[in-house]
Structure 1
Amino acid sequence: MTDFPMIINGLPVSAAAHFDVKNPATGETVGRAPNASRDHLDQAVAAAEAAFASWSQQPDAVRAQACLDIADKLGEQAEDLAQLLTREQGKPLNGLGSRFELGGARAWAAHTASLSLPVKVLQDNEQGRIELHRKPIGVVGSITPWNWPVMIAVWHILPAVRSGNTVVVKPSPFTPLSTIRLVELMNEVLPPGVVNVVCSDDQATNIGAAISAHPGIRKIVFTGSINTGKKVMATAAETVKRLTLELGGNDAAIVLPDVDPKAIAEGLFWGAFINNGQTCAAMKRLYVHESVYDGVCAALVDYAKAVPVGPGSDEASVLGPINNRMQFEKVQRLVDAAKSKGRVLLGGEPGEGLFFPPTLIADLSHDDPLVFEEQFGPALPIIKYSDVEDAIRQANDSPNGLGGSVWSQDIDKARQVASRLECGSVWINKHGAIQPNAPFGGVKSSGCGVEFGEEGLAEYTDIQVIFN
C-alpha cells in the first residue's frame, strides 16, 4: 500500500498518521494520504511566503512559460493521472470522465499562460500621469472539492501562479491523491515553495479551517458547498482575507414549447448527468412546457436507459458510482421523498455499493425537496409548466444562482428568457459549457468573485494606483 507524502517547499514530507482513500466502485483502498498537523500547515505557509519574495518579482514571460510547462507535464502524465483519478473519484476513464478532465486541465493551464494584466494608464496629461497596477496578493490558500479534483486544482493554482502568488492547496479527503501527484508535477517546473500541498481527513485535524484562519494566507479560493463556504467566510473575516468562493448551484433549465424533444434529449441528459450529476453547474431542475412535456420525458428515458453504468476502470462505462457514502445517502433520501410525490420514469432504486442508476422523476412540484434542494447526484426532477412567466419565477425562486439554461429553436426568444434568469451563467440549447476565456461565478448564495479569463486572473491581485 502506497503512503503518499505532502509536498512542502518542493520536497516530499511524511506525516505521523495517514488515512485510507477508497475506490468508490469497489471499496478497495487506493492509497493512504498524509494527515497533516498544524505544524505542517505552518511549514507550508512559511515556504510559500519565502518563495513569494522572488516569484512575485519574476518577469511576466517567466510566469507565463511556467504555465505552459505545467500544461506540458499534464499532457505527458495524463494517462497515469487519469487512472489514479478514476480509482479515487470513481468517474469513468472515457466519455466525460477522467481523460476528459485531464484534457481540460491541460487546456486551462495553457490558456492561463496567455492571460495578462498590463498597467492601465488612467490619466496622462499636463496635470500628471496616473497608472493602475495589478500586484500579486501573497500566499493563496486553495481548498478543492472531490468532484473534479484535478481540474479545479488547476483552476485555483494556475491563475495564482500566473499572477505572481504562491499557493498552499488542501484537497478533499475523498480525492487527495491525484492532487498530490499534480503538485509533484508542478514542482518539477516551479521553484520550491511556489506550490505546496497539505492533506487532512477533516476529523483528526481540520486543516481547511486552519487555512481559512491562518494569518500568513492573504486569499482563499474555495469550491464547495454553501454551508462550508459560509464557514470559510466567517473564519477568514478575522484577517480580512480576499475571497473567491464558487459554491453550490441548483441550476434550472427551461424548455420552451417549440423544441424537438428528440433533438434536445442528449444535451439535456449530459447537462444534468455529467460526472454523474456531481457538478456544481449541472442541471438540477428541468421545467418543461406542457405541450412538449410528454415528448421530452419519453426522449430523455430513451436516451438515458442506453447509457452504460459501471466501474470507472471498465473502458465501456460511461457513468460510474457516486463518490462517497454521505453523498449517496443524500441522493437516496431526496429520491425516496420524490417517489411518493412524482412519477418515476427511470431508475429510483440504488444499486450495489455506491452505484445509483440515472433517475428521472416527473410530475414534481417546485417545492418538493428533490427540486428545491441541490441533489448533486444522478437524479433529475422534471416539472411541467404552462406559462413561461411562471417557469421563470420558479427558476429564480432559489437561494442559489450559479447557472441556468433555456432550450428553444427561437434564439431571440431564448435570449429574452435567459436575460431574466438570476444566475451567473446562462446557456442556450446546452448546459454547463464553461470555457477558460469566459468568466464563471455565481450570484446570491452561489458565491462571490469569478474564475477564468482576465476577470478571474484579476481576483488574484490587489490594485495599486501610482500618481506622478
Structure 2
Amino acid sequence: MNLHVPSSTAVALDPAIQKFLDAGPKFLIDGKLVQAQAGATIDIRNPATAQVVAKVPEARAEDIDLAVKAARRAFDQGPWSRLTPAERGKLVYKLGEIIERHAEEFAQLEALDNGKPISESRAADLPIAYNTFYYMAGWATKIAGATLSPSNAGEYHAYTLREPIGVVGQIIPWNFPLMMAAWKLAPALAAGCTVVLKAAEDTPLSALRLAQLIVDEADFPAGVINIVTGYGETAGAALAAHPQVDKIAFTGSTEVGKLIVKAAAGSLKRVTLELGGKAPTIVFPDADLDRAIPGVTLGSFFAQGQVCVATTRIYAHKSIFDKLIEGVRDAASKIRVGPGLDTATQMGPLVSATQLKRVSGYVQSGRDEGAHVQVGGEGLTGSDGYFLKPTILTNANPAMKVVREEIFGPVVVAQAFDDTALDKLAAEANDTEYGLAASVWTQNASIAHKMAKRIKAGTIWINCHHVFDPVLPFGGYKQSGWGRENGAEAIENYLETKAVTMAL
C-alpha cells in the first residue's frame, strides 16, 4: 500500500477558509471574537504533513472565568431565559442552517485539522451535525412538566416544572470535532441553558469557525454561546472546577472522565460523560458474509479507527472465521490511505504524532504477546504525516493488551469461537470495563434479539455498524460513561425538575 496523493483529486481550500486561517481564529466570549488574555497560542498541524496550518489562542483559567461569567450573566440576567420556547427553537434551527450553508467549508476544515477524508466529512460528519440542530430545535417547544395527585389529607394542586439546569461547561474530543460540538450545543441550547464549549486543542478549527459564523450570521444574545480552546489540564480543569458552572458534559477518554468527576465534585455540579469503548462484533456461522465483510471493515477502519465504538474485537465462528478475515483483510489492503483533502482518500492519518506513537505501541505489544499481523501494522514511507496502515491482528487471547484496552486507531483484533451458547458469547463480549457499543451479524432474528438483551452496551447494531442519527440515544454502560447523547434523553441531561405544591 502506497501513499495516495494524486494532485488531480486534491481539494483547494475555499477562499473563506483560507481567509479564516490567515486572519487567525479567535475565541467567542460574551458575543465577541477575542484573543487569549495571556496571548498564548497553540500550533495546529495538518496530520497528513505535520505542517503548522494555523495558530489558535490558548485558553487559561482567566479566559475560562470570563467565558463562564458571560454565560452566567446571559442565563441569570440576559434575554435568553425570557425567550419563548418557539423563539429559542428557531435560533437553534438557524444554527443548523448556518452549518449546512457552510458545509463544504467545514468539511475542508475537518479534513485539514483532523485528517479524516473529506468524502467522509461530507457524507457523515456534516449531515449529522446540522441535522442534530434541526432535530433538537423541535424539542424546545416540547419540554413539559406533569400534574400530580398527592395522597395527603386535604386538597392540593401539585405539578412539576422542567427548567434548564443553567450554565453548562462542555468539553469535546478531537475525533469528530464539529459533530461533537453539535451533539453538545444543540440539546443544551434547546433546553434553555447557556454554554461554554471547550474544543480539543488538536482540532479546534471547525469550532472556532463556527464561533465566527455565530457572530456574523446568528442572532444569539451575547454570552449564550461561548467557544474556547485550550489544554485539558489548564482550560478543561478550570472549566470543570469553576463554581459558577452548573453542569459539565464531557466526551473523551475514561481516564480523563474520572478526572472531570473529581474536579466537579467540589461544587457537586451535574456531570454527564461519554467515554471509551472496546466494541465487540460477533459474527455467527449463518451471517451473510457479503454484508458482514464490508460492514466489519467499515466498523474497524472508519475515521481511521479513532472512534469509541469501532469494531476493535471481532469474534467469528470458526466455520466462517477464515473466510471473514480473508475478506476483511483483502478489503483493508485496498483502502486508499492519504491526505484528508484528497477526494480519492478513503482513510486519512491519525490525528497527531502522539496518537500515532500510542497506536503503533499497541501493534508492537500485540506482536510481542504472540498475535499475528494479517495486514498493515506499519506506517507509510514517503510522508511526514501520521499514517498507519489498516491493521488486523489474529491469534489473540483475552489476556493481551490489544484485546483488553482501547486502542483508538485502525487496529482490530480477531478471535474465533466454536461454542454458540449465547450466554457464553455474551460473557466474552462483556468481559471488558467498557460497554459503549456492539454489533451482531446473523440471519436468525431470534439470536439477534437474544444477544441484544445479553450484551451490556448502550448501542447494539444488528447486521450493521456505525449507524448514527439524532433520534437514537447514544451512551454507555459501566466505564463508558454516564447519561446519553441524542434523542429525548439528551434534553434530559440539561433539565432540572421542580415540584410545586399549593394547598387549596
Name the TM tier (shorter chain). over 0.9
5+ residue gaps, structure 2, are 1-21
Name which of 274, 278, 286 aligns with 1:258. 286
Q: Which amino acid aligns with 1:145?
A: P
- Greater CA drift, 137-146 or 185-194: 185-194
> Could you say what secondary structure the match of 1:333 adopts?
helix
Q: Which residue of 1 aligns with 2:203?
A: 175
What is the CA–CA distance in structure 2 between the aligned matches of 1:99 and 1:51, rounded to whole Å? 35
Assess if the C-alpha contact under 8 Å between 1:134 and 1:458 holds in 2: no
1:320-331, aligned counterparts within 5 Å? 320-331=348-359
Assess if the C-alpha contact under 8 Å between 2:128 and 2:469 holds in 1: no
What is the CA–CA distance in structure 2 between the aligned matches of 1:371 and 1:136, rounded to whole Å? 41
What is the CA–CA distance in structure 2 between the aligned matches of 1:410 and 1:395, rounded to whole Å? 19
Assess if the C-alpha contact under 8 Å between 2:237 and 2:263 holds in 1: yes
1:235 aligns with 2:259: no
Q: Which residue of 1 aligns with 2:136?
A: 112
What is the CA–CA distance in structure 2 between the aligned matches of 1:337 and 1:139, rounded to whole Å? 44
Query: By how many angstroms is 1:67 displaced?
Result: 1.3
Assess if the C-alpha contact under 8 Å between 2:459 and 2:474 holds in 1: yes
What is the CA–CA distance in structure 2 between the aligned matches of 1:182 and 1:307, rounded to whole Å? 32
Q: Which residue of 1 aligns with 2:398?
A: 366
Query: By how many angstroms is 1:424 displaced?
Result: 1.1
Name which of 281, 298, 313 aligns with 2:326. 298
> Could you say what secondary structure the match of 1:141 adopts?
strand
Q: Which amino acid aligns with 2:407?
A: Q
Q: Which residue of 2 aligns with 1:226?
A: 254
1:444 aligns with 2:478: yes
Assess if the C-alpha contact under 8 Å between 1:89 and 1:147 holds in 2: yes
> Could you say what secondary structure the match of 2:402 adopts?
helix
Query: By how many angstroms is 1:464 displaced?
Result: 0.5
Q: Which residue of 2 aligns with 1:200?
A: 230
Query: By how many angstroms is 1:301 displaced?
Result: 1.6
Q: Which amino acid aligns with 1:416?
A: K
Assess if the C-alpha contact under 8 Å between 2:470 and 2:486 holds in 1: yes
Q: Which residue of 1 aligns with 2:46?
A: 23
**Sequence identity of aligned pairs in percent?**
36
- Greater CA drift, 405-414 or 124-133: 124-133
> Could you say what secondary structure the match of 1:427 adopts?
strand
Residues 383-423 of structure 1 show CA distances to partners (whole Å, capped at 9, x for unaligned) of 11111343322111100011111110112111101210011
Name which of 406, 416, 420 aligns with 2:454. 420
What is the CA–CA distance in structure 1 between the aligned matches of 2:333 and 2:137, rounded to whole Å? 42
Residues 117-146 of structure 1 show CA distances to partners (whole Å, capped at 9, x for unaligned) of 222223399843322211011110000100
What is the CA–CA distance in structure 2 between the aligned matches of 1:70 and 1:6, rounded to whole Å? 18
> Could you say what secondary structure the match of 1:435 adopts?
coil
Q: 1:166 to 1:312 in 2, by over 3 A?
A: same
> Could you say what secondary structure the match of 1:350 adopts?
coil
Q: Which amino acid aligns with 2:219?
A: V
Assess if the C-alpha contact under 8 Å between 2:128 and 2:470 holds in 1: no
Q: 1:423 to 1:75 in 2, by over 3 A?
A: same
Name which of 149, 153, 173 aligns with 1:123. 149
Assess if the C-alpha contact under 8 Å between 2:110 and 2:121 holds in 1: no
What is the CA–CA distance in structure 2 between the aligned matches of 1:217 and 1:98, rounded to whole Å? 34
Q: What is the root-mean-square deviation of aligned Cα atoms in Å? A: 1.6
1:191 aligns with 2:191: no
> Could you say what secondary structure the match of 2:74 adopts?
helix
Name which of 423, 434, 441 aligns with 1:407. 441
Q: Which amino acid aligns with 1:391?
A: L
What is the CA–CA distance in structure 2 between the aligned matches of 1:14 and 1:159, rounded to whole Å? 28
Q: Which residue of 2 aligns with 1:460?
A: 494
What is the CA–CA distance in structure 2 between the aligned matches of 1:370 and 1:449, rounded to whole Å? 27
Q: Which amino acid aligns with 1:121?
A: T
Q: Which residue of 1 aligns with 2:24?
A: 3
What is the CA–CA distance in structure 1 between the aligned matches of 2:121 and 2:63, rounded to whole Å? 33
TM-score scaled by length of structure 1: 0.96
Query: By how many angstroms is 1:42 displaced?
Result: 1.3
Residues 333-369 of structure 1 show CA distances to partners (whole Å, capped at 9, x for unaligned) of 1111223412222111122431001111122112211
Name which of 276, 292, 308 aligns with 2:304. 276
Query: By how many angstroms is 1:450 displaced?
Result: 1.0
- Greater CA drift, 157-166 or 194-203: 194-203
Q: Which amino acid aligns with 1:420?
A: R
What is the CA–CA distance in structure 2 between the aligned matches of 1:174 and 1:98, rounded to whole Å? 21
Assess if the C-alpha contact under 8 Å between 2:103 and 2:122 holds in 1: no
What is the CA–CA distance in structure 1 between the aligned matches of 2:333 and 2:59, rounded to whole Å? 44
> Could you say what secondary structure the match of 2:312 adopts?
strand
Q: Which amino acid aligns with 1:129?
A: H
Q: 1:137 to 1:245 in 2, by over 3 A?
A: same
Q: Which amino acid aligns with 1:39?
A: E
Q: 1:240 to 1:124 in 2, by over 3 A?
A: closer
> Could you say what secondary structure the match of 1:292 adopts?
helix
Residues 124-173 of structure 1 show CA distances to partners (whole Å, capped at 9, x for unaligned) of 99843322211011110000100001000111111111111000011110
What is the CA–CA distance in structure 1 between the aligned matches of 2:443 and 2:173, rounded to whole Å? 36
Q: Which residue of 1 aligns with 2:127?
A: 103
Q: Which amino acid aligns with 1:73?
A: I
What is the CA–CA distance in structure 1 between the aligned matches of 2:309 and 2:161, rounded to whole Å? 33
Assess if the C-alpha contact under 8 Å between 1:2 and 1:31 holds in 2: no
Residues 173-206 of structure 1 show CA distances to partners (whole Å, capped at 9, x for unaligned) of 0011111111222342311110001221447xx1
Assess if the C-alpha contact under 8 Å between 2:28 and 2:227 holds in 1: yes
What is the CA–CA distance in structure 2 between the aligned matches of 1:378 and 1:397, rounded to whole Å? 22
Q: Which amino acid aligns with 2:30?
A: N
Q: Which amino acid aligns with 1:410?
A: N
Q: 1:441 to 1:104 in 2, by over 3 A?
A: same
Q: Which residue of 2 aligns with 1:346?
A: 375
What is the CA–CA distance in structure 1 between the aligned matches of 2:297 and 2:388, rounded to whole Å? 16
Q: Which amino acid aligns with 1:123?
A: S
> Could you say what secondary structure the match of 2:399 adopts?
coil
Q: Which amino acid aligns with 2:373?
A: V
1:62 aligns with 2:87: yes
What is the CA–CA distance in structure 1 between the aligned matches of 2:170 and 2:149, rounded to whole Å? 36
Query: By how many angstroms is 1:98 displaced?
Result: 5.0
Q: Which amino acid aligns with 2:414?
A: I
What is the CA–CA distance in structure 1 between the aligned matches of 2:274 and 2:187, rounded to whole Å? 15
Assess if the C-alpha contact under 8 Å between 1:272 and 1:283 holds in 2: yes
Q: Which amino acid aligns with 1:113?
A: A
Name which of 97, 107, 111 aligns with 1:86. 111
What is the CA–CA distance in structure 1 between the aligned matches of 2:373 and 2:228, rounded to whole Å? 44
1:31-50, aligned counterparts within 5 Å? 31-50=54-73
Residues 249-293 of structure 1 show CA distances to partners (whole Å, capped at 9, x for unaligned) of 111111111113233111111112111111112211111111111
5+ residue gaps, structure 1, are none
Assess if the C-alpha contact under 8 Å between 1:86 and 1:98 holds in 2: no
- Greater CA drift, 188-197 or 430-439: 430-439
Assess if the C-alpha contact under 8 Å between 1:19 and 1:201 holds in 2: no
